[in-house]
A and B are shown apart, each in its own frame.
Chain A
């Protein structure tokens, strides 16, 4: 590169003296206003440094006279958003949960809010979208409910939980460990399994199932019903349908009768506010299995413990 400054004939401007393969750079003067614009950016920067956090210190930065911080801005935005949501949340709180489906917009809002809460508190067990986990946690999307699938029943279950020891309002029941505790022997359990599988038409009636029917009548029917129709007062699953939380094959059924899981859910009433629980209930209800509230006379027939 040869440094040779000269005057360009065409423009009358001097070159900067750099040349690359015959291409030279003109030293065209910048317009003066461009320089002023540059000074203006410096003034802007000075103002910025004074107004906003700028200079890094050892464990912090200068505060800036406006006192702005990203954390403070987030808090402001959260406060503004909760203020924005307040009328809706209050309206949901003031509405009886059974009436929510008749108020379309409010129900939509409740389902949205419930979905958000569900994704924080519930998906750990029940899975995204309430799909459940086979052999561990029930699906909330199907049309089979252990403790009832109308809005009030779901709200009650979420509030008081399932099998929380020492809490009188909790959903409670205990299936005996028929095998482990020696109530039934292995052959008898096999017979009960045969009978239960005829209830759901997975097996044809046999001598084994006939023996099992007798055992079922004395040991199981009190909770599961004489024909295995289930009992929601005690969370006893229906045995006639295609849905098996812990598996419907022979081995799984035998294992359940031998030593039942008696699944547990926390009582969320202790951790979440009532509106959030109400919204959670509407979300679970909206997943596809929601049931209409039982007719009024049935509601009167609540158990002595106040459970619907």
Chain B
């Protein structure tokens, strides 16, 4: 049986050495758009933890803070408690559907512009250009011998890589503690070990993924390109080389010598030179294409120089490609964007967002959870009455101390007291002082006459005593012996 080597006509290796990617600098509208997005996303990432937001004396004044130690999540005026984690789940679902929406409408725009891997790779590639020069200089240096100059340049480049990586890792931990305090503690060596560990790990991953792995992450490691294949259809925008217009390729000179024999592509390879993942877009849609559109900028620049219309490489749907190939006029962009599929994604996405906003506005900030003591369910008292014990968890989710009254209804002859009180002083209600932004646990004893059903449903309710009377109520059981004792 023939070996694959024979079939391939060349020795096939099980492993493939990485092909270097040295993208050339380019300018154009998409490049400028990418600059803008890089500036905005990096500014958000590095800057957000430093925004202050006054919440009064009982809560941190950091606008965005994931306070894992105290189990609170602050985002501007919204404060999320652990039991409200469904808001975070909702945000994640919105993020997922948002990606579906973007992918079905404009293809891999996330990959091309906003993905952290793309943004940081872009940043590191600019560092390459700053230290080593543009594409050709980079290639010369990479293939050249290890001279003093190369050592110095590599040293400088990796130092900048490391600086950016460290800054990136350092910014991450600021989301989990008060940023100015943590910065001070970090440099004073007083921060938690987990802070140093996190910065070390994220510095390492940023250094490796942004400095070296780059397009390998997109091509080999990331699951998203695979999922996106299922998200896209013939109406999704793709970066497309219009082969019907470009082929056959020929230089300007050849085209001048033989008019009508060649297409618009002059085979200048600028689209390959600028590609950050090192692919040739003229081979058609492929998993390595993150649709960053830099090849569109490069090609448009060349077309302008030689006086041919722009858009030999352009965003184009598969449908439009077929129409244009047949010589027709492509559909307006508005029509490809506004189709049932994208509208349904948009509708679902907005509905979840609106529902979350509505429920955020409606949620009560004074929450009651009651646990019925089960061992024993009831206690026979010496005067014949029955006592049940409950643990009240009173969540004061406002950042101010509060006073609440706890009352019961639906239980005749009930007397309430807490550990601090006594049955002699028991009454129809108790008052509890609640610390700001915390859970207060109260052990509540309720005694009631023995005559009554063995399982008696009644209601425990809370009511604010400080101007805002809104409270919470819970229906729970009062147990008595099955037969009269």
Contact = CB atoms under 8 A, between A and B. Distances in A.
B382 interface: yes
Nearest to A10: B284
Contact of B15 (A31, A131, A241): A31
A219 interface: no
Contacts of A32: 15-18
A3 B423 CA distance: 87
Interface residues of A, number: 32
Nearest to B384: A242
A5 B1 CA distance: 9
A259 interface: no
B227 interface: no
A286 B443 CA distance: 10
B57 interface: no
B12 A14 contact: yes
B425 to A, nearest CB: 11
Interface stretch (B141-149, B359-367, B372-380): B372-380
B373 A129 contact: yes
B478 interface: no
A73 to B, nearest CB: 17
Interface string A128-149: 1111000000010111100000
Interface in A1-57: 3, 5-7, 14, 16-17, 27, 29-35
Contact of B16 (A3, A29, A128): A29
A278 B27 CA distance: 79
A129 B380 contact: no
B379 A127 contact: no
B7 A7 contact: yes
Nearest to B377: A131
Nearest to A285: B419
Contact of A131 (B16, B216, B376): B376
Nearest to A30: B15
Interface string B398-425: 0000000000000000000001001100
B396 to A, nearest CB: 18
A243 interface: yes
A288 to B, nearest CB: 6
A292 interface: yes
B7 A6 contact: yes
B380 A243 contact: yes
Interface in B1-32: 1-4, 7-8, 12-18
Contacts of B376: 127, 129-131, 139, 141
A142 B381 contact: yes
B4 A27 contact: yes
A238 interface: yes
Interface string B424-443: 00000000000000000001
B382 A29 contact: no
B379 to A, nearest CB: 5
Contacts of A31: 15-16, 18, 216, 220
B374 to A, nearest CB: 8
B7 A5 contact: yes
Given A29-B12, A129-B373, A292-B422, A142 B379 contact: yes
A260 B216 CA distance: 85
A192 B367 CA distance: 55
A301 B189 CA distance: 62
A143 B381 contact: yes
Nearest to A29: B16
B389 interface: yes
Contacts of A130: 376
Contacts of A30: 14-16
B387 interface: yes
Nearest to B213: A33
Contact of B2 (A5, A34, A131, A144): A5
B445 interface: yes
Given A14-B4, A27-B4, A127-B375, A142 B382 contact: yes
Given A29-B12, A243-B382, A288 B445 contact: yes
Contacts of A34: 15, 220
B383 interface: yes
Contacts of B216: 31, 33
Contacts of A288: 379, 387, 389, 445
A242 B382 contact: yes
B446 to A, nearest CB: 11
Nearest to A200: B384
B485 interface: yes
Nearest to B5: A14
B383 to A, nearest CB: 7
A153 B67 CA distance: 45
Contacts of B373: 129
A242 B18 contact: no
Nearest to B14: A29
Interface string A221-250: 000000000000000001001110000000
A101 B383 CA distance: 26
A128 B373 CA distance: 11
A293 to B, nearest CB: 13
Nearest to B7: A5
Contacts of B379: 131, 139, 141-142, 288
Contacts of B485: 242
Contacts of B419: 286
Contacts of B382: 142-144, 238, 241-243
A108 B56 CA distance: 30
Given A14-B4, A27-B4, A139-B376, A242 B383 contact: yes
Contacts of A6: 7
A242 B7 contact: no
A128 B7 contact: no
Contact of A14 (B8, B17, B381): B8
20 contacts: A5-B2, A16-B4, A29-B12, A29-B14, A29-B16, A30-B16, A31-B15, A32-B16, A129-B375, A131-B375, A131-B379, A139-B376, A141-B387, A143-B382, A241-B382, A241-B383, A241-B384, A242-B383, A243-B382, A292-B422
Given A7-B8, A29-B15, A131-B375, 5 more contacts: A30-B15, A31-B16, A129-B376, A131-B376, A242-B382
